[in-house]
Amino acid sequence: MQPLYPSLPSRFPLPLFFLLLSVGWLSGCQSESGGAAAGETDSLQLAPLTSAGAPRNVIFILSDDHRYDFMSFMNNMVPWLETPNLDRIAREGAHLKNAFVSTALCSPSRASILTGQYAHVHTVVDNSAPVPDGLTFFPQYLQKANYQTGFFGKWHMGEDRNEPRPGFDRWVSFRGQGVYYNPTINVDGSEVQHGDSAYISEVLTDYALDFLKQRDKDKPFFVYLSHKAVHAEFDPAQQDHYKYHGNDIDYPASINYTKPGHIQDEEGVNYDDMPEWLKRQRYSWHGVDYAYHGQFNMDTILYRYCETLYSMDRSIGRVLDYLDQEGLAESTLVIYMGDNGFQFGEHGIIDKRTAYEASMRVPMLARCPDLIQPGTTVESVVQGVDVGPTILSAAGLSTPENMNGQSFLSVLQGDTAHWPNQMYYEYYWESAFPQTPTIFAVRTGRYKYIYNWGVWDPNELYDLQTDPDEVNNLIKSPQHQDIALGLKQDLWNWLETTDGMQIPLKVPPMKRLDHEYRGYY
């Protein structure tokens, strides 16, 4: 196959450490299968909600690394980006504008969605942590309630295995991060090789639609469509190559604020109290000055990201069209979400992992005309741990006691009276990417407090109302000490009451892989 971008490699030549991370070799331990153990199926029987109607059909669409504001109906740094089908879901349903994940990293976030639990509870704390034996995924409850369930796409929870997992009648997946072109797919336990330039977003959508076409129409269905897009290496469908190359990009002003020698007297910018780990990170795998170790410049990365997103959006349109054709659009709950955000220059870095807005904030949309008024905007803070309880609620089922999240189905209908206005965050240091420390954070409607664990650096306090770019750290501000104390106490109370006081440790089995100390122990 010829290179898709003639002037560039057709794939990011990712270094060995990135590939090893994706397959879980850096953990030094083997993963487990997860799911309920034999003899525990009775525990999957949930009490019905007293106000429940007929079990509702649900389609949950998850993307990878989709930044919260990269949809064409939103103001962003790429006004030329087109996402007509995501726009359609927002227009015909709801935009949850304050949706967040409690860990901005693929595996922990996905485990939180599937279990309704924080990372320190389900223990899949990074991309190589094993899924503990006996962990229950919410689709298992749906199966017990007579749902037809199907999983299609990226699983990626701490392992390089692709065999079927508990909770799904139909299983379509691939190993690790997968590939954009000509994927090898595990279909219900059998390997199927796709060729002829088959594109992953379309392949997964084909399988999902086939499942819907062959379903038992007397039973409710649940589809979990988990896209590889838009994870690096960014590679769009063939017809979308170079679609956006050459357009102007309005990078965030803070892209320069951590740059050595940059004039630091901008009003509202507190350079002195920016963490040193953040300043150093701008020249790293996840920094704008050495992004992906200098393989491509920022413009190229961003263009390819947007083109890949556009390709995925097209496949989402096929799912919406099918619901229209089958007369299912009015009654089916469709939820779209990203597994974490993505920084494109904020604070001089890229990628996720941090507790800054562009990292922990995600796109989330929901449509179900029977339940949600068209054009609804939800201001309430919603988290990834709330997805499972919400889908169970749509099925008429109560939330299991071991879930940390809660259903936001009533929030979609305007009932926010008892909904919390804050969320919690955790990220655990990874040996493959040592430039980001362990981080804990709490975010309210106005303030964010970030605790940088294990480094000689300031903690952080931001007034999101007056400083949405998070560049004026108020941690030393005399008039904000009571706020900082209250949020710090609240953060540690959350960790204590949810059994989160144990920092996970793993043996690093290899030499250092970061560019400054590569090859050393």
Query: What pLDDT was estimated at residue 44?
Result: 87
Strands 184-187 and 190-193, by their bridges, are: antiparallel
CB 342 within 8 A of CB 93: no
Strand locations in 5-127, DSSP E?
58-63, 94-100
| Residue 223: C-alpha distances to residues 86, 132, 215, 394 (Å) | 17, 24, 11, 13
CB-facing half-sphere around the CA of 363: CA atoms within 13 A:
27
Neighbours of 54 (CB within 10 A): 9
Strands 423-427 and 438-443, by their bridges, are: antiparallel
Nearest partner of 520 among 431, 429, 453, 438, judged by Cα: 431
Residue 198 sits at the vertex; the CA angle it makes with 236 and 6, to the nearest 5 degrees, is: 45
Peptide bond before residue 233 is cis, with ω within 30 degrees of 0: yes
Q: CA dihedral defined by 19, 23, 29, 30, rounded to 10 degrees?
A: -160
* Residues paired with residue 199 on neighbouring β-strands, in sequence order: 181
Mean pLDDT of the chain: 90
**Backbone CA torsion sign across 334, 103, 459, 280:** negative
Which residue in this structure is represented by tokens 């609620």? Answer: 393
Its CATH architecture, for the domain 58-278+296-420, is 3-Layer(aba) Sandwich (3.40)
Structure tokens at 346: 């904020």
Strands 376-383 and 423-427, by their bridges, are: unpaired
Query: What pLDDT was estimated at residue 42?
Result: 63
Query: What pLDDT was estimated at residue 1?
Result: 35
Helix segments in 214-297, DSSP class H: 276-281
Query: What pLDDT was estimated at residue 43?
Result: 78
What do you get for the CA distance between the two ends of the chain, in Å? 40
Query: What pLDDT was estimated at residue 117?
Result: 98
Residues 6+ apart with CB under 8 A from 246: none
Structure tokens at 345: 């220059």
Task: Name the residue type at position 272.
Answer: D
Query: What pLDDT was estimated at residue 58?
Result: 98
Query: What pLDDT was estimated at residue 506?
Result: 73
Residues 6+ apart with CB under 8 A from 49: 393, 396, 397, 398
Write out residues in the chain with pLDDT < 70, as ranges: 1-42, 52, 158-159, 263-265
Q: What is the pTM of this model?
A: 0.92
Structure tokens at 181: 């072109």
Structure tokens at 363: 């796109």
Structure tokens at 278: 């953040």
CB-facing half-sphere around the CA of 79: CA atoms within 13 A:
3
